[in-house]
């Protein structure tokens, strides 16, 4: 007999406290939205953060959390991934961890809701509309006129994940038409080798070159303020370096995705879509 599903909002995890606090805030709002308790759990990393930076409450990561619940007799889990697309964490790492858990608790059932970006539905602008709002908010705040925009992600070894970046970039060119000069996708970093060239252009090679030499808004394809997208993180360092080399360049980061109120509605929608999904094998 299946227990009542334990609903989990899962991000990738971060060594920064702000990311965990953000996940908790959103899980609480989502709980109210769907009238079901939602547990804020990271896939990895977050247990490295000192509890003193997390209002005294230690962060939890997925596998130990599920194992502890299985020990208590729970056997049904429903994960809402706070991920833009099907990264290796979801397509490879997670199924392996669940398989390992099921080897000890065979009746354990784990369902996974869809990711934030739906590449199959070309009419789904949920994510790009949120990012458009964040870009326009920055344009209005800084009183910019027709700035250039780059949609910047982390970079990935998987072409399937890179498709998400390019898909959102194409949609932004439509939704921001008339307010910006152009939108070009870029990545923060990439692996060496020709097989990973699909991540180009890198942000550091875009800023200060060609058309990106004056006002540039970074449309941030990052969920929360971790060590890459947070204050003083990798993105900030790349921007500062580019501005020091190009006198006319000024960069402006949009707020991060999780800061937008419509994110709760989107997560609730993905939750409802995932209810009929099959368990992870």
Instruction: Tell me what pLDDT residue 3 has.
Output: 77
114's torsion region: left (phi>0), alpha (psi -120 to 50) or beta?
beta
* Cβ-based neighbours of 56, under 8 Å, separated by 6 or more: none
Cβ neighbour number for residue 163 with a 10 Å cutoff: 16
- How does pLDDT run across 148-179, given as a tens digit for each residue? 999 999 999 999 999 999 999 999 999 999 99
All structural domains of the chain, each given as residue ranges with its CATH number in brackets, are: 6-117+263-274 (3.40.50.1400), 126-259 (3.40.50.1400)
Give the confidence band of 2 by pLDDT, cuts at 50, 70, 90.
confident
The C-alpha angle with vertex 106 and arms to 105 and 109, in degrees rounded to 5, equals 95
- How does pLDDT run across 189-212, given as a tens digit for each residue? 999 999 999 999 999 999 999 999
CA dist 267 and 198 (Å) reads 29
* Residue whose C-alpha is closest to residue 19's, from 57, 59, 52: 59
CA dist 58 and 274 (Å) reads 29
- How does pLDDT run across 221-253, given as a tens digit for each residue? 999 988 889 889 999 999 999 999 999 999 999
CA dist 17 and 225 (Å) reads 9
Cβ neighbour number for residue 116 with a 10 Å cutoff: 24
CA dist 121 and 100 (Å) reads 33
- How does pLDDT run across 3-24, given as a tens digit for each residue? 799 999 999 999 999 999 999 9
* Cβ-based neighbours of 211, under 8 Å, separated by 6 or more: 148, 181, 182
């Amino acid at each position: 007999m299946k227990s009542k599903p334990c609903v989990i909002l899962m991000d990738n995890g971060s060594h920064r406290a702000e990311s965990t606090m953000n996940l908790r805030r959103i899980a609480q709002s989502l709980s109210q939205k769907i009238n079901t308790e939602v547990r804020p759990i990271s896939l990895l990393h977050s247990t490295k953060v000192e509890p003193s930076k997390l209002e005294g409450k230690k962060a939890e990561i997925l596998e130990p959390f599920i194992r502890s619940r299985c020990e208590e007799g729970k056997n049904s889990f429903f994960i809402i991934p706070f991920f833009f697309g099907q990264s290796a964490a979801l397509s490879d790492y997670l199924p392996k961890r669940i398989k390992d858990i099921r080897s000890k608790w065979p009746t354990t059932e784990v369902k996974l809701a869809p990711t934030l970006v739906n590449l199959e539905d070309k009419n789904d602008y949920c994510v790009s509309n949120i990012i458009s709002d964040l870009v326009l908010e920055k344009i209005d705040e800084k009183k910019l006129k027709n700035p250039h925009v780059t949609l910047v992600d982390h970079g990935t070894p998987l072409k399937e994940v890179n498709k998400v970046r390019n898909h959102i970039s194409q949609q932004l060119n439509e939704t921001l038409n008339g307010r910006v000069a152009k939108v070009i996708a870029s990545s923060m970093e990439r692996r060496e080798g020709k097989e990973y060239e699909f991540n180009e252009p890198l942000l550091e090679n875009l800023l200060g070159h060609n058309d990106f030499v004056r006002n540039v808004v970074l449309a941030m394809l990052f969920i929360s303020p971790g060590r890459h997208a947070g204050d003083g993180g990798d993105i900030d360092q790349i921007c500062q370096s580019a501005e020091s080399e190009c006198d006319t360049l000024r960069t402006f980061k949009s707020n991060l995705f999780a800061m937008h109120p419509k994110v709760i509605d989107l997560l609730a929608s993905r939750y409802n879509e995932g209810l009929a999904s099959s368990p992870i094998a």
